[in-house]
Amino acid sequence: MPEFWVSSGHHLTRRDEGGGLVVTDELLLAYLARPELLPPDEACDAERALHAALLADPRRPVTPAEVAALADADARENWEMILAFRDRLLAARSVEAAYLDLVRRGASGTPPLFLNQLVHLILRNALDGCDDPYTLRAAELFFRPQRASLGDGTLLLADAELIDEAEGAGRPSPLVAMLGREPASELDVLTADTAWTYWSRSDAFSMALNLGSDPKSREGLARAIEAFIRHLLAVEVTIAPIAAIEDEDWRWFVGLDAEGTRIGNALWRGEAVDAATRERVLALFRLTIAEAPRADPRLGGKPVYLFLAMTPDRLVTMKPQNLIAGLPVTQTGEA
């Protein structure tokens, strides 16, 4: 089976008996190696000593006085955040349990980057053995913001960081600039002919996803969502892409991002939603909970609808935590 997403850090941990990922010293050391925690040249002796002590023992308790002794205010803030995050990881039985705790009890003070990294790692575990590049590329939406590009009847999603770097560096080719095309048009698009190349570039996040006109892309996202829910909530669901909600008595929805939630709420309340706003809905899914006893009785046997949308400036920032907080399922037998 080809390797993928080495950058998730899955090789730094191992599975426990329940299939969750153990918080290992190696995983903690990877966080300590982050650039914002490496003492800069001007760092005080106290910061250097703290960093060295944690490299020697990443589980070592750190007192508030040790952090307060750091001379730089930004350094103190960074260390307070990473230590609080580390302590949440250490208090949980697995990486997955730590993520569920952060989602349900509040992630205040936890940088979004750290949450994205946890999702990256958890999905790497949940999708282990997956041999479908469409599912894996679509799953990148869970932890990598995307830029949408519309043109010639095609909706392409490309990694936002990659596109922002290209635009900032002025790298688009002269032909692209002359034709007024977007940087995403320079990326290879995932197709049946290019899918084999995904394995060698999975950590580069350099393939565009044709979410608009390639059904395999939406199916791939559906499979990724199923795997995420199954792994974290231990409940079987089936998800299907749909063109529209035809049930006038729909009972429940989950926005897969802030914009999808906003649009879904407006539709739920029966408010008028203009055409431009409706066009920002990039994908709709129907989710059916296979295990009836796990479903909230208020569903009444109805499906749950999932909304994925982009902002007016075409940014897609998926919030997978909404699937944990918003799905109407009971909490039993979780990761």
* Per-residue model confidence as pLDDT tens digits over 218-240: 999 999 999 999 999 999 999 99
pLDDT of residue 176: 43
Locate all alpha helices (DSSP H) within 72-144, ordered by sequence. 73-91, 95-105, 112-126, 133-139
pLDDT of residue 331: 73
pLDDT of residue 186: 78
Give 24-76 as a 3 state SS string. Answer: CHHHHHHHHCCHHHCCCCCCCHHHHHHHHHHHHCCCCCCCHHHHHCCCCHHHH
Strand 315-316 with 146-151, pairing: antiparallel
Is the model's pLDDT at 78 over the cut of 80?
A: yes
Angle, vertex CA 304, rays to CA 299 and CA 310, nearest 5: 145
Percent of the chain residues past pLDDT 90, beyond the cut: 80
**Which of the residue ranges 103-112, 165-174, 316-325 would you say has the lowest mean pLDDT?**
165-174
Mean pLDDT value across residues 283-290: 96
Residue 146 buriedness (CB in 10 A; 0-12 / 13-18 / 19+): buried
User: Binning pLDDT at 50, 70 and 90, where does residue 109 land?
Assistant: confident
Percent of the chain residues past pLDDT 70, beyond the cut: 93
Q: How many whole angstroms separate alpha carbon 320 and alpha carbon 142? A: 6
pLDDT of residue 2: 85
* pLDDT tens, position by position, 152-202: 778 999 999 999 988 775 555 443 443 345 666 678 999 999 999 999 999
Is the model's pLDDT at 112 over the cut of 70?
A: yes
Conformation bin of residue 106: beta by default, left when phi > 0, alpha when psi is -120 to 50 = left
> Do 225 and 123 contact (CB within 8 A), yes or no?
no
pTM attached to this predicted model? 0.91
